[in-house]
Chain A
């Protein structure tokens, strides 16, 4: 069965036909060709497919596309503003907070969600916010450093 869903995708009003049993991950990657959302485990464990649902990080492999109806969805493709990198993206680059990069889109989105809610997080709060995003390369040290530094940048901008 297919149904029509209306939702906001990266700031744009969107209307699509989706199969009832299609996951949000497959919808983004296969139907919309938004491949920045990564497929790591398809069981909600690794966080590589993290997107923002009404501002909260969720694993898109554990969600049906149909559930997006009426909601606000942000993917990694949607967090640059006016062609400028988000401070979290910029600090990930400057601090070498990535290696293979497969966890990076999900990691960046979890960090953006955290900083939207809490612009002055403790190290523990940062680690807690990305505890659902597995990274096998970095040991998380530079990721934590980059998020902390992005928080500082955002606070100064405000």
Chain B
């Protein structure tokens, strides 16, 4: 009988290098990024750098209203602009081929490539033009006349759920795009028996990813086939939706992901700026490029969900967390897309890193007429851990327990199973708390001068999210091919999408490590749907874990084939053979010692020229209906982290100075220490921006007021504190070479640590973000005048109390 894949993987594992022999993995400066030289010399090719002969430029026409009917579109003036070559409306795309996330319910594919009859947000895409120059396209788009009938818009998540609110999409649904509930244990009993119970309200703001590279795409059409270079976090995901939006088969579309100038979750969804140049390329026979302007990135891509929280907890007097009830209201904006997962994730994140057996939690994601919310680094975790971890400090104060100790009492421990079915593996959460407390001098927190405060916070995150975002029915696997070449090098064909985090380097390293080659003896071919195998995309901290394991299996497959051949020649077992320093040998036997090249050549000679090649894939084994059932294990492992912040607040002006920042992260074995530190340091920037800087502002009609880097500020080099990174924990037995994630979980505890530090510095509990100098100044003034020592949750209790009793439902589409 044929071997099962699991049995085969066991065979492969026998030839894996042992951890004590690692020369690259887990080392600090053993290698550099494979794309570093291209990037410091300006030679790396990003989407906007792809120029093709005869190329046209596409510009989108966007809605100036938050909600309106499209009554007519007149291109007469646009056609008069010299150089205009084509125009598009929604009717040029097949009807019903909407984009989005039908993961749970098919109605959630809710975005037309270009709006046909109705616009749902300021900046919604209505039409497109293409021309021989960017300037001509800009001018033509400016003079397209669209006749609108303005409709009432709804801009607030609570207002949107009211019975009489205007319907963003589907009437009679209270605008709910997603309703999620998670229950476990007996929370009513636990609340009745608890020594301490409380109820608090929090809210977070709308934020934008701000990858330095604006979104864009270049498309060409030849021989009935499209080639599209695009800013994507998932080449295969983009291909799926581009093909669907165009109404053609996936095999007719090749998507290539060039160098990516950052993603952070904002480049997961598929957009009009990809579909329109593709359509123009087919219509005109000329390649076509569409690169968004910065304001279009703010208006028309994705944002981080603002979330309002009602949190009730029950504790024993000793500090054991018995039960949690919470309600989350997520402002989804105008569309679903990658945003659909936010509900479930927000509830899952509320069940760890602290053990809680009795839960009753609901999340509602109403549509509003604002830019669509979607995935963003630390997806839902950043908002949830801000609220829930600030809350831990409030509970600790009320219980009279040291906030560090309260966290330690309730910390998740290794191999614990959570109330919704999360199966934790390795966990060094307690170690991260201890290390952070020591490094930030937690014991001295009450000895700080006036206006200075220390805060800590903790979090956890999925490592290797096992479920797809945005592509059904595809499996959420990662796959890899590896070829060993007799000329002395290997090639890795990875489906993983490097968006700047460096996964191409990680995959290259895994292959080099296993084969005993140098980094430059491994060539990496990545993220091109014609050349590389399937991968579900860069999201959910899945790349290192899933693609890393997949790459290791692929190189292991090739290695096992090669070594099995030589084991036959040398009369030994494959696992007796070592690959190191470009040689293949049996230790201590000079007769059995050949070069990598000879080894490959020998295999090929014996096998009629067949090259040594391996394939590998890795997928989390989980319930595919998890978004419907809301129970189950989301990932094969979980990372844990803690943050410590020391801040100094100017009590007169509200000015914030983050004097010190400490971050401890349990990522299993760090495959490269500097890469992990880089993820942590970047996370602190994103977390500081979220907590103290960034917020999208709208006028009463839903017009975005600050879609520029001038008015939407995020931290510069002068704003960033000194950061100490501490790597904790042990290798995870299921991770690639023992690794877990380091990209997303690291963002989550930054905000609450800063908020808790500011609370200690000012004596005020901030319940909303951002905590910027203006809000601090207002809160200090309020405290002085009224004695009220919490800020930012005004009116939330009433909003939650008057929320209509929305039953679990799905949008009902005829």
Chain A residues in contact with chain B, CB under 8 A? 33-43, 45-46, 48, 75-77, 80, 85, 89, 92-96, 98-105, 108, 126-128, 130-144
Which single residue of chain A is at the shortest CB-CB distance from B708? Answer: A43
Bound Cα distance A64, B682 (Å): 34
Bound Cα distance A96, B685 (Å): 17
Which single residue of chain B is at the shortest CB-CB distance from A75? Answer: B42
Q: Answer yes or no: B259 CB below 8 A from chain A CBs.
A: yes
Are B293 and A101 interface neighbours, CB within 8 A? no
8 pairs from A and B in contact (CB 8 Å cutoff): A38-B48, A41-B709, A42-B293, A43-B294, A93-B32, A100-B262, A104-B40, A139-B685
Are B40 and A92 interface neighbours, CB within 8 A? yes
Question: Which of chain B's residues have a CB closer than 8 A to the CB of A104?
Answer: 39-40
Bound Cα distance A41, B682 (Å): 20
Q: Answer yes or no: B80 CB below 8 A from chain A CBs.
A: no
Bound Cα distance A25, B48 (Å): 13
Are A100 and B499 interface neighbours, CB within 8 A? yes
Contact among A37, A85, A102 with B261 in the assembled complex (CB-CB below 8 Å): A102
Question: Which of chain A's residues have a CB closer than 8 A to the CB of B104?
Answer: none
Are A93 and B40 interface neighbours, CB within 8 A? yes
Question: Which of chain B's residues have a CB closer than 8 A to the CB of A136?
Answer: 209-212, 262, 264, 682, 685-686, 714
Q: Answer yes or no: B768 CB below 8 A from chain A CBs.
A: no
With A93-B33, A136-B262, A142-B674 as known contacts, state yes or no: A36 contacts B41, CB within 8 Å. yes
With A99-B501, A99-B678, A102-B261 as known contacts, state yes or no: A48 contacts B40, CB within 8 Å. no
Question: Which of chain B's residues have a CB closer than 8 A to the CB of A143?
Answer: 717
Contact among A36, A43, A138 with B43 in the assembled complex (CB-CB below 8 Å): A36
Contact among A48, A94, A100 with B260 in the assembled complex (CB-CB below 8 Å): A100
Type the 1/0 row for B263-298, where 1 means its CB is closer than 8 Å to any CB of A.
010000000000000000000000000010110000
Which single residue of chain A is at the shortest CB-CB distance from B675? Answer: A96
Bound Cα distance A33, B51 (Å): 9
Are A139 and B720 interface neighbours, CB within 8 A? yes
Question: Which of chain B's residues have a CB closer than 8 A to the CB of A131?
Answer: 716-718
* A-B CB contacts (within 8 Å), total count: 176
Question: Which of chain A's residues have a CB closer than 8 A to the CB of B39?
Answer: 98, 101, 104-105
Bound Cα distance A136, B679 (Å): 11
Are B294 and A77 interface neighbours, CB within 8 A? no
With A85-B40, A100-B500, A128-B718 as known contacts, state yes or no: A137 contacts B262, CB within 8 Å. yes
Question: Which of chain B's residues have a CB closer than 8 A to the CB of A102?
Answer: 46, 211-213, 261-262, 500
Are A85 and B42 interface neighbours, CB within 8 A? no
Bound Cα distance A70, B709 (Å): 32
Bound Cα distance A83, B685 (Å): 35
Type the 1/0 row for B23-35, where 1 means its CB is closer than 8 Å to any CB of A.
0000001001101
Type the 1/0 row for B159-174, where 1 means its CB is closer than 8 Å to any CB of A.
0000000000000000
The number of residues on chain B lying at the interface, defined by a beta carbon within 8 Å of a beta carbon of chain A, is: 58
Contact among A45, A85, A138 with B678 in the assembled complex (CB-CB below 8 Å): A138
Determine how close the nearest CB of chain B comes to the CB of A78; give it in whole angstroms: 9
Chain B residues in contact with chain A, CB under 8 A? 29, 32-33, 35-46, 48-49, 51, 209-214, 259-262, 264, 291, 293-294, 499-502, 672, 674-675, 677-678, 680-686, 708-710, 714, 716-718, 720, 722-723
Interface centre among A35, A94, A127, A128 (most CB of B within 10 A): A35
Contact among A38, A89, A126, A141 with B40 in the assembled complex (CB-CB below 8 Å): A89
Are A40 and B674 interface neighbours, CB within 8 A? no
Are B32 and A139 interface neighbours, CB within 8 A? no
Contact among B42, B211, B680, B683 with A35 in the assembled complex (CB-CB below 8 Å): B42
Say whether chain A's binding surface is mostly helix, strand, loop, or mixed. Answer: loop
Determine how close the nearest CB of chain A comes to the CB of B303; give it in whole angstroms: 15
Question: Which of chain A's residues have a CB closer than 8 A to the CB of B294?
Answer: 40-43, 46
Are B37 and A142 interface neighbours, CB within 8 A? no
Bound Cα distance A109, B510 (Å): 33
Are B682 and A138 interface neighbours, CB within 8 A? yes
Are A100 and B261 interface neighbours, CB within 8 A? yes
Question: Which of chain A's residues have a CB closer than 8 A to the CB of B682?
Answer: 99, 136-139
Bound Cα distance A93, B720 (Å): 22
Question: Which of chain A's residues have a CB closer than 8 A to the CB of B32?
Answer: 93-94, 96
Are B714 and A43 interface neighbours, CB within 8 A? no
Contact among A42, A93, A103, A108 with B212 in the assembled complex (CB-CB below 8 Å): A103
Are A142 and B677 interface neighbours, CB within 8 A? yes
Question: Which of chain A's residues have a CB closer than 8 A to the CB of B44?
Answer: 101
Are B212 and A48 interface neighbours, CB within 8 A? yes
Determine how close the nearest CB of chain B comes to the CB of A111; give it in whole angstroms: 11
Interface centre among A48, A98, A127, A144 (most CB of B within 10 A): A98
Question: Which of chain A's residues have a CB closer than 8 A to the CB of B37?
Answer: 85, 89, 93
Bound Cα distance A33, B720 (Å): 35
Determine how close the nearest CB of chain B comes to the CB of A26; give it in whole angstroms: 8
Interface centre among B39, B291, B293 (most CB of A within 10 A): B39
Question: Which of chain B's residues have a CB closer than 8 A to the CB of A142?
Answer: 674, 677-678, 681
Determine how close the nearest CB of chain B comes to the CB of A60; give it in whole angstroms: 13
Shortest Cβ-Cβ A-B pairs, 9 listed: A36-B42, A100-B500, A102-B261, A101-B39, A139-B681, A76-B42, A45-B709, A139-B685, A96-B674
Determine how close the nearest CB of chain B comes to the CB of A11; give it in whole angstroms: 16
Bound Cα distance A140, B259 (Å): 20
Bound Cα distance A89, B214 (Å): 24
Which single residue of chain B is at the shortest CB-CB distance from A39? Answer: B48
With A93-B32, A101-B44 as known contacts, state yes or no: A137 contacts B500, CB within 8 Å. yes
Determine how close the nearest CB of chain B comes to the CB of A122; give it in whole angstroms: 13
Determine how close the nearest CB of chain A comes to the CB of B586; give it in whole angstroms: 36
Bound Cα distance A42, B709 (Å): 10
Question: Which of chain B's residues have a CB closer than 8 A to the CB of A133?
Answer: 717
Determine how close the nearest CB of chain B comes to the CB of A33; give it in whole angstroms: 7
Bound Cα distance A135, B41 (Å): 17
Are A138 and B681 interface neighbours, CB within 8 A? yes
Contact among B29, B43, B213, B685 with A140 in the assembled complex (CB-CB below 8 Å): B685
Determine how close the nearest CB of chain B comes to the CB of A85; give it in whole angstroms: 7
Which single residue of chain B is at the shortest CB-CB distance from A142? Answer: B678
Beyond the given A101-B500, A144-B717, please list 12 additional residue pairs across the A-B interface where CB-CB is below 8 A: A36-B42, A36-B43, A38-B46, A39-B48, A41-B214, A85-B37, A89-B40, A101-B261, A128-B718, A135-B212, A137-B212, A140-B720
Are B716 and A134 interface neighbours, CB within 8 A? yes
Which single residue of chain A is at the shortest CB-CB distance from B48? Answer: A39
